[in-house]
Amino acid sequence: MITYISLPVEISQAKNFMEIYRDRGYGKNVLGVTDDEFLRFIFIGKLCEIAFTSILRERSVLFAADDQLIPAAGAHRIGADLVLTKSNQGVDVKAAHAAYHTRILVREDQFQAHVHDLYVGAKYVTDQRIDFFGYITGSELSEVAPRDFGKGLARYFQLDLLKPIEKFIELARAGKVV
């Protein structure tokens, strides 16, 4: 596991991103949560993405995430959160955020629309602390039967059973397929 301490600028970037969603009415609240909860999900997800790209930069992993801070005007963003340059693999960062959350969840409608090459599991602890547990491939996640955890069908995987995030970084830095 890698624990990342967020920088104030990263927290500010995630808040600005969330505020654009709020102010322009972007996104679609398909989970049936309150607007405030929906916006909090946007903030947490974006902060985890920003933190993960910072980890990759710190460890000399080449990637592209050119539109990371550009909100999607539609119901949801299409495409991966980032693409590893050397292996051309799309990566989607998934954030567990409540104290009792022990798994990553990928909504079934998102999964059916596009299976990403890799999913990275993060645990948002506070604005300042995010724990990155590991990863799973899209093909491995496709073997998991979807389940409803109260907000609709989702693919899921336990954070502590993911392949180690250090292995992800090692393979990505070497330019190998993760």
Looking at residue 112, its pLDDT comes to 83
Q: What is the 3-state secondary structure (H, E, C) of the chain?
A: CEEEECCHHHHHHHHHHHHHHHHHCCCCCCCCCCHHHHHHHHHHHHHHHHHHHHHHHHCCCCEECCCCCCCCCCCCCCCCCEEECCCCCEEEEEEECCCCCCEEEEEHHHHHHCCCCEEEEEEECCCCEEEEEEEEEHHHHCCCCCEECCCCEEEEEEHHHCEEHHHHHHHHHCCCCC
Higher pLDDT, 51 or 21: 51
Does the pLDDT at position 8 exceed 70?
yes
Looking at residue 122, its pLDDT comes to 96
Looking at residue 30, its pLDDT comes to 67
Looking at residue 129, its pLDDT comes to 97
Does the pLDDT at position 87 exceed 90?
yes
| Each residue's pLDDT tens digit, 34-75 | 878 888 988 999 999 999 999 999 999 999 998 888 887 765
| Each residue's pLDDT tens digit, 104-125 | 888 888 888 888 999 999 999 9
Q: What residues contact 31, with CB distance under 8 A and at least 6 apart?
A: 37, 38, 41, 151, 152
Looking at residue 95, its pLDDT comes to 93
Query: Please, what is the average pLDDT of the chain?
Result: 89
